Amino acid sequence: DKLRTDPVLKFMVAAITFYGMSTFEGPMMSLKSVNSMSHYTNWTIGHVHSGALGWNGFLTFSMLYWMVPRLYKRELYSVKLATAHFWIGLVGIGMYVMSMWSAGVAEGLMWKEFKADGSLAYSQWTDTLPTLFPMYIVRAVGGTLFFVGLLLMVYNLIKTVQGAKVENTQASAPPMKAAATKGAFHYLLEGKPLAFTVLTTVAVAAGGAFEIIPTIAIKSNVPTIEEVKPYTPLELEGRDIYIAEGCYNCHSQMIRPFRSETVRYGDYSKPGEFVYDRPFQFGSRRIGPDLHRIGVKMPGIGGAAWHYRHMLNPRETSKGSIMPSYPWLFENKLDLSLTQNKIATFRDVFGAPYTQEEVENAVKLAETQAAEIADGLMAQKLDDIRDKKIVALIAYMLRLGTDINQGGQ
């Protein structure tokens, strides 16, 4: 009966339930057969949010509803409002998670589907988007409901703090039994903090040594590819813009060795291709297609012109795209004041084989490459972008995946 009337208990039980779901779902998604479909999809988003909102969120709500009245010695302003928060939040997170599960399974299967003639059933990335739109709307509604519930809690707790103080009452309790002089086996550790600290330190140090020593003893466990070279100064600046604009949130750079991915994107990614990516841009979600071979699929000035138009208006080049446009990249000037320092850091810290001449002439090299790209685009009657941020991003796009295409395996 208490479960029906106590909102704190409701939130606690729901949080434990979501915890159980998350801890089962996570290991299940690590299975190769499941992960091959679920990875890069919205299923992962549903899994993460069931834990973050359903488990951690509801647990936090229950603790606040229990603690605030006791800390301020007040009665909870409205039990009904707290109960309403529970049901609104539960419906909201349910809509959010289930829509992402559905979207993840749908897109995972669509990406892998082939026609009878051996071609991809959904060869254009935008072909999969109409199926996902309704689920995105459901997710937005669910997230809004969850947030509305949060606002109800904030209002309820503020009114609780502002309420009348409850007078202290005399409490009574039966006498406690004498504490046991000897505890169970676990007491041998918990009851001796110094020994426990020493043993824990030894265990952590041993585990760390098993991980760290091999990386020190072995120069590299990644096969080197002779054709893979470090980024040019302009490409490195473009990579920084790619990161700053959050492109990795929607695009991956890791083609897995599946037929569906190699047919769609090109040759699968090799470990040695990422030795100069610090940090790597594997990504964890594909709202848009993988970009690791985009430089091979769209090379030269033709590819540069496509990227120019795509960044300015994605719908012009990809009908139905949900990617935002980036007009400020065409307006903001490219800052090369730190380029030389970046190249020097990649050489001195990360071991990139830049020569001293390349370090000293980093800015000039970047300006030369930018001028080449801009001149090619101007020949196609596009604006001069030699000193704009977009030229660096285009240079980076043109480079991706091209080293291995020169013959390295």
pLDDT digits (tens, 9 = 90+) for 321-340: 999 999 999 999 999 999 99
Indicate whether 180 pLDDT > 80.
no
The whole-chain average pLDDT of the chain stands at: 91
**Percent of the residues in the chain that have a pLDDT greater than 70, as a whole number:** 93
For residues 110 and 350, the model is more confident at 110
Q: What is the pLDDT of residue 195?
A: 83
Please tell me the CATH superfamily of domain 233-405, with its number: Cytochrome c-like domain (1.10.760.10)
Dist CA 79 CA 86 (whole Å): 11
pLDDT band at 409 (very low <50, low <70, confident <90, very high): very low
Report yes or no: 54 and 115 within 8 Å, Cβ to Cβ: no
Amino acid at 401: G
Indicate whether 266 pLDDT > 50.
yes
Amino acid at 113: E
Q: What is the pLDDT of residue 170?
A: 65
Mean pLDDT value of segment 297-313? 96
pLDDT digits (tens, 9 = 90+) for 159-177: 999 987 777 666 667 777 7
Dist CA 52 CA 164 (whole Å): 34
Residues 361, 366, 372: CA angle, nearest 5 degrees:
125
Mean pLDDT value of segment 275-303? 93
What is the number of other CB atoms lying within 10 angstroms of the CB of residue 307?
A: 22
Calculate the CA 132 to chain-centre distance: 19
Mean pLDDT value of segment 151-166? 91
Report yes or no: 128 and 42 within 8 Å, Cβ to Cβ: no
CA distance readout (Å), 313 to 44, 248, 268, 324: 29, 19, 29, 8
Indicate whether 218 pLDDT > 80.
no
pLDDT digits (tens, 9 = 90+) for 342-391: 999 999 998 899 999 999 999 999 999 999 999 999 999 999 999 999 99
Report yes or no: 8 and 66 within 8 Å, Cβ to Cβ: yes
Q: What is the pLDDT of residue 408?
A: 38
Q: Is 176 exposed, middle or buried (0-12, 13-18, 19+ CB in 10 A)?
A: exposed
Which among 150, 22, 8, 138 is positioned nearest to 83, based on CA atoms?
A: 8
pLDDT digits (tens, 9 = 90+) for 38-68: 999 999 999 999 999 999 999 999 999 999 9
What is the number of other CB atoms lying within 10 angstroms of the CB of residue 379?
A: 10
Dist CA 150 CA 144 (whole Å): 10
Q: What is the pLDDT of residue 221?
A: 66
Q: What is the pLDDT of residue 407?
A: 43
Q: What is the pLDDT of residue 163?
A: 84
Which among 380, 404, 407, 408 is positioned nearest to 394, based on CA atoms?
A: 380
Dist CA 322 CA 222 (whole Å): 37
**Percent of the residues in the chain that have a pLDDT greater than 90, as a whole number:** 80
Dist CA 142 CA 148 (whole Å): 10
pLDDT band at 181 (very low <50, low <70, confident <90, very high): low
Dist CA 409 CA 269 (whole Å): 10
For the chain, which residues make up each domain, given as ranges?
2-162, 233-405
Q: What is the pLDDT of residue 165?
A: 78
Cα diameter, the chain: 92
Indicate whether 320 pLDDT > 60.
yes
Which two structure tokens, joined as six digits, stand for 118?
A: 């051996």
Report yes or no: 114 and 120 within 8 Å, Cβ to Cβ: yes
pLDDT band at 191 (very low <50, low <70, confident <90, very high): confident
Radius of gyration (Cα) for the chain, nearest Å? 28
Indicate whether 116 pLDDT > 60.
yes
